[in-house]
Amino acid sequence: MERGLFGPPSAPPVPPPDRRKLSDFADPYQAFYWLGYFVKNLSIREAPPEPPEPRKQPLCDTAEFCVFDTETSGLSAKDVAIQCAVGFFSADGKPMGFYDRLWKLPKGTRINYGSYKIHGISEKKLEEDGYDAALEIRSVLKMFQRMRERGKRIVAHNASFDCRMLAQTARQHGVDGWDITTADMFCTMQNSKPRCGLVSEKTGRPKAPSNAELYKILTGTAPSGALHDALVDIKVTGRSFVEGQKRGWW
């Protein structure tokens, strides 16, 4: 009795496909048929799935310090942040990544013309490119809370102003739970004031340095880039913070 393609139950075990020989088949036609079937099934066999990429940790879980800055609709108690940038840095000051977004205005709020002339952010630009401020401020709050929880510094130049603006923005957009205060922050402006030796031309008293002034004192060169853009400003502040550490200022 001829052996079938896979052999009768009593037949010896069939060799695996990559070890079969022509003599294992009853005739060449059977071998040709089997070869076609085997190749077809190989061609449609799915490739093994690629291993998933390792999940990246949030920067607020790994950064040694972060720096933030805001651009605002004005300076009053009713004004809000319309741009917020947060930079995350390693211990040696190397940038690890940035958050930088425009935030839409709450209803009924306008941009003060004096502020617009400084930062150049228009109401039209916010309408076109701005993000939902309520969602964004919750994200920023979580970043800051995580940095605080880890005991890492949250740095700003003129921290009291930016902290006040973020708190006002949270209230204006109905976001509860904003609990970041100036006590949670490190201000390069206030901490460098006693060391810079700058004097106000109007009052003759010691004055706090601007972001650009502090950078030049610490590095010897003026900062590059368009200042009064929050992303540019935090890069300047981040460098000043690291240079101040090197000098033992803080």
DSSP H or E run through 246: helix 230-246
Give yes or no: residues 6 and 101 share one domain: no
Give yes or no: residues 211 and 234 share one domain: yes
Report how far residue 175's alpha carbon sits from residue 133's, in angstroms, rounded to the nearest whole number. Answer: 9
pLDDT value at 36 more than 70: no
Share of the chain above pLDDT 70, in %: 81
Q: pLDDT per residue over 118-137, tens digit each?
A: 999 999 999 999 999 999 99
Average of per-residue pLDDT values in the chain: 89
Report how far residue 222's alpha carbon sits from residue 158's, in angstroms, rounded to the nearest whole number. Answer: 19
Say which residue, 23 or 230, is predicted with more confidence.
230
Report how far residue 40's alpha carbon sits from residue 58's, in angstroms, rounded to the nearest whole number. Answer: 46
Say which residue, 114 or 53, is predicted with more confidence.
114
> Would you state the pLDDT for residue 43?
52
Name the burial class of residue 16, with classes exposed (0-12), middle (13-18) and buried (19+) by CB atoms within 10 angstroms of its CB: exposed
> Which residues span the domain enclosing 15?
1-47
Say which residue, 224 or 94, is predicted with more confidence.
94
> Is residue 53 domain-resident?
no
Q: pLDDT per residue over 183-195, tens digit each?
A: 999 999 999 999 9
Report how far residue 65's alpha carbon sits from residue 184's, in angstroms, rounded to the nearest whole number. Answer: 12
> Is residue 225 domain-resident?
yes
Say if pTM beats, i.e. exceeds, 0.95. no
Give yes or no: residues 137 and 165 share one domain: yes
Give yes or no: residues 34 and 75 share one domain: no
Report how far residue 68's alpha carbon sits from residue 79's, in angstroms, rounded to the nearest whole number. Answer: 18
CATH code of 208's domain: 3.30.420.10
Identify whether the C-beta of residue 110 lies closer than 8 Å to the C-beta of residue 79: no
Secondary structure letter of residue 18 according to DSSP: G
pLDDT value at 2 more than 50: no
Share of the chain above pLDDT 90, in %: 74
